[in-house]
Amino acid sequence: MKARILTPILSTVCAAALVVPSIAQAEGTAMTAAAPAKSKKAKPAQSAKPAVTATGPFAAVSTLPFQAPDFTKITEADYLPSFEQAMAIHRGEVDAIIANKAAPTFENTIVALETSGQMLGRTARVFYALTGANTTDGLDKIDTEVSPKLSAHSDAINLDPRLFARVKAVYDNRAAMNMTPEDARLLERTYDQMVHAGAMLTEDQRTQVKAINTELSTLTTQFAQAVRTATNGQPLIVDTKEELAGLSEGDIKAAADLATERGAPGKYAIALQNTTQQPLLPSLENRATREALFKRSYHRADGAASAANDTRILLASIAELRAKKAALFGNPDWATYAMYDRMAKQPKTALDFMEQMVPALAATQRREAAELTAAIAKDGGNYEVQPWDWYRYANRIKAERYQLDEEAVAQYFQIDKVLEDGVFFAANKLYGISFKKRTDLPTYHPDVSVYTVYDKDGSEMGVFYFDPYQRPSKRGGAWMSNFVDQSYLAGTKPVIYNVLNISKAAPGEVQLVTFDDVTTMFHEFGHALHGFFADQRYASISGTATARDFVEYPSQANEMWATDPAVLQNYAKHYKTGETIPTAMIDKMKAASKFNQGYDFGETVEAALLDMKWAALTPEQAAAIDTPEKVDAFEDTSLKELGLEVGLVAPRYRSTYFNHIFSDPEGYSAGYYSYLWTRMLSEDSKKWFRENGGLTRANGDHYRATVLSRGGTMDYFDMFENFAGREPSPAALLEALGLVEPAAEGTPAASK
- Catalytic residues, by residue number, are 524
User: What b/e string do you get for 28-51 counting C-beta neighbours within 10 Å, with b at 16 or more?
Assistant: bbbbebebeebeeebebeebeebe
450 membership: H or E segment, kind and range: strand 449-454
Query: CA 543 to CA 486: how far, in whole Å?
Result: 7
End-to-end CA distance of the chain: 22
575: buried, middle or exposed (CB in 10 Å: 19+, 13-18, 0-12)? middle
270 touches 252 (CB < 8 A): no
70 touches 440 (CB < 8 A): no
3-state secondary structure of 507: coil
124 membership: H or E segment, kind and range: helix 118-133
Give the type of residue at 603.
Answer: E
528 membership: H or E segment, kind and range: helix 515-532
Full DSSP string of 40-81 = TT--PPPPPPPSS---STTSS--SSGGG---GGG--GGGHHH
Give the type of residue at 137.
Answer: D
Full DSSP string of 362-417 = HHHHHHHHHHHHHHHHHTT--S---HHHHHHHHHHHHHHHH---HHHHHTT-BHHH
Q: How far is CA 215 from CA 148, 149, 220, 318, 335, in A?
A: 7, 11, 9, 9, 19
234 touches 300 (CB < 8 A): yes
Beta carbons within 8 Å of 531's beta carbon, 6+ residues apart: 2, 462, 480, 482, 486, 494, 496, 543, 544
461 membership: H or E segment, kind and range: strand 460-469
Measured in residues, the chain has a length of 752
What is the pairing mode between strands 236-238 and 449-454? Answer: unpaired
602 membership: H or E segment, kind and range: helix 597-615
166 membership: H or E segment, kind and range: helix 161-172
625: buried, middle or exposed (CB in 10 Å: 19+, 13-18, 0-12)? buried
Q: Is the dihedral of CA 327, 332, 335, 341 positive or negative?
A: negative
DSSP state at residue 738: T
> In the sheet that 495-502 helps form, which strands lie side by side, from edge to edge?
13-14, 479-484, 495-502, 460-469, 449-454, 434-438
Within a 13 Å sphere around the CA of 461, how many CA atoms are in the beta-carbon half? 25
Beta carbons within 8 Å of 457's beta carbon, 6+ residues apart: none
Query: CA 8 to CA 671: how far, in whole Å?
Result: 17
- Angle at CA of residue 152, ends 669 and 625, nearest 5°: 40
Please name which of 160, 156, 163, 165 lies closest in space to residue 210, comparing C-alpha atoms.
156
Query: CA 748 to CA 752: how far, in whole Å?
Result: 12
